[in-house]
Structure 1
């Protein structure tokens, strides 16, 4: 702790250095400390950053400062970040957008959400990409206005922004994006004739999350041994989804019988097609991917139970 405090004093002093490079480096390091430190240390990092934000005029430093300030999780930093949404430098706006992507707000009208709606229409493509990523695939908050902006971004001139919008709408289980997603897969299949062998990873993820059988013909044009393709095909195949659900339920029931101490449960994480096996009764509360566990067990639920049992030996009474 004393070494951290010594470093904090040095970095705080560098925030007022004549060299912009030194100030930027200090902000970057303070952000890293804020990410990895306890609340009491973060509380000491925020005030000097807030003070520097009032007078800083270098764009590179401002970008690093914005990111560092967001890492402190100090609510006093929000007005500073909101004030940078219209900053003339794209790097600063991107840093602000990345900061807002960390938000866990469920309030669709929260200031950071409204800022992201603005940034999704930014002149700089990389800023738009981050904003669309946050709105579609990160924030718990969702609303008709967010949906409308994501649909608007489907037609973005930057293909990466458009693909991020497809993924975001797939994450929100918006079936209206299905035709565009299918078109992206068909275009990738056509491009395969010129040396490209798989769709973009975002497109494959969107197909896996949406899990619609209509996507199977396009996915059939790609190498089934590709893990991303295989995952998307499995998610879109109703019979395989049904089999996975049955295997998962059989696995949980068998674990309850053999190892009731593990308190086995099933869950799905937000924005993913995966089914997970949670074992809150075990040390460290491990989580298994049911798909990966069944793969290890050669699709045999009984063998999967044996694997879990071997991984987590019961305590001797």
Structure 2
């Protein structure tokens, strides 16, 4: 795409965005910006040049274009994040702040965290919402203390949508744990909005916190049960949930997962298959180091295969066994082939 075509699309998007800001229209020109973003470096060059425009709508649209380009071109994310961080250091308009926060989330750049933490203090609820959405995307694993702290603060925001996304980010996207994290999630289980309560329960369950069990029981007894509740049940892996789960369709993935994790017999069969798989790999390749392990914030078991050089493989045991028709011997052949051909 030629630079003049990119500029034309951008100018059209600016006019649409202006209508949104000034009169509440719903078409913000995102489709035009996505087309312009296809050009990659040309789009970034144009957008960076417009970040200093005196018109706030132009600056906001430039941020939106940078975010769209970052979503499509991973190689440009570092440059995009740098430009947005520099802009945010002296930008004062909340409309531009909104676009900065959203675009920074699209960069997945950890350097964006201090900027997002600063924007979390905005009096504008829409800006805080975008921060709640963006922060989990830029967090390392485990997250920095500042990232954990800002999500905890946003979990108690006055706006329910901000609380919901912050609770989702803290409890489900992030693996942060500790007394402060669990207290924030527990507090949200008492929220006045059901979506926030469900996120709080799911976040606690993911950390295997026993306080989530009665909450999940109550949620499973409701007329309508969200898939988040089945996920929470799976993490708790408590047999007392089986009678409540039996009434749901086991053909639904989330239900099947919860039934499998809560049933001690099925878990034992899975663990036995994982053990047989480990031994089968070792018999075939005694030169390899093989380990089976589980993560607190993940379901199921994982298999690691390494040697003393640069050979390594990591896979989800349940998925590998399904590929092999639940035959550990066949699964051993598959994982060795996967690792050695990588």
Aligned residue among 231, 241, 250 for 1:215:
241
1:32, distance to aligned residue in structure 2 (A): 4.9
Aligned residue among 321, 324, 330 for 1:303:
330
Alignment of 1:257-268 (within 5 A): 257-260=283-286, 263-268=289-294
TM, length-normalised to structure 2: 0.75
Aligned residue number for residue 169 of structure 1: 204
Unaligned runs of 5+ in 2: 1-38
The answer to whether the 8 A contact 2:281-2:332 is kept is yes
Aligned residue among 288, 293, 298 for 2:315:
288
Q: Secondary structure at the match of 1:83?
A: helix
> Is 1:64 aligned to residue 91 of structure 2?
no
Q: Larger deviation: 143-152 or 230-239?
A: 143-152
Aligned residue number for residue 281 of structure 2: 255
Q: Deviations over 1:250-271 (max 9, x none)?
A: 1111111113466443233452
Instruction: Evaluate the alpha carbon distance shift between residue 82 and residue 294 of structure 1 in structure 2; reply closer, same or farther with a 3 A threshold.
Output: closer
The answer to whether the 8 A contact 2:305-2:312 is kept is yes
Instruction: Evaluate the alpha carbon distance shift between residue 232 and residue 140 of structure 1 in structure 2; reply closer, same or farther with a 3 A threshold.
Output: closer
Q: Secondary structure at the match of 2:211?
A: helix
Q: Larger deviation: 123-132 or 41-50?
A: 41-50
TM, length-normalised to structure 1: 0.81
Q: Deviations over 1:133-153 (max 9, x none)?
A: 222223343222221221111
> Is 1:98 aligned to residue 125 of structure 2?
no
Aligned residue number for residue 261 of structure 2: 235
In structure 1, C-alpha distance between the alignment counterparts of 2:180 and 2:90, rounded to whole Å: 35
In structure 2, C-alpha distance between the alignment counterparts of 1:206 and 1:296, rounded to whole Å: 26
Q: Secondary structure at the match of 1:101?
A: helix
Instruction: Evaluate the alpha carbon distance shift between residue 6 and residue 224 of structure 1 in structure 2; reply closer, same or farther with a 3 A threshold.
Output: closer
The answer to whether the 8 A contact 1:116-1:135 is kept is yes
Q: Deviations over 1:170-208 (max 9, x none)?
A: 111101110010111121xxx2xxxx6xx3111111111
Measured on the aligned residues, the alpha-carbon RMSD in Å equals: 3.1
Q: Deviations over 1:23-61 (max 9, x none)?
A: 3332133235556545xx555444542343245344332
Aligned residue among 141, 160, 180 for 1:125:
160
1:14, distance to aligned residue in structure 2 (A): 1.8
The answer to whether the 8 A contact 2:202-2:228 is kept is yes
Unaligned runs of 5+ in 1: none
In structure 2, C-alpha distance between the alignment counterparts of 1:23 and 1:125, rounded to whole Å: 29
The answer to whether the 8 A contact 2:261-2:267 is kept is yes
In structure 1, C-alpha distance between the alignment counterparts of 2:150 and 2:177, rounded to whole Å: 14
The answer to whether the 8 A contact 2:281-2:333 is kept is no
In structure 2, C-alpha distance between the alignment counterparts of 1:248 and 1:149, rounded to whole Å: 36
In structure 1, C-alpha distance between the alignment counterparts of 2:313 and 2:251, rounded to whole Å: 28
Q: Deviations over 1:83-114 (max 9, x none)?
A: 32232322210121223223236578x33322
Aligned residue number for residue 87 of structure 1: 122
In structure 1, C-alpha distance between the alignment counterparts of 2:132 and 2:340, rounded to whole Å: 47
**Paired residues, number:** 299
In structure 2, C-alpha distance between the alignment counterparts of 1:175 and 1:219, rounded to whole Å: 18
Instruction: Evaluate the alpha carbon distance shift between residue 182 and residue 65 of structure 1 in structure 2; reply closer, same or farther with a 3 A threshold.
Output: same
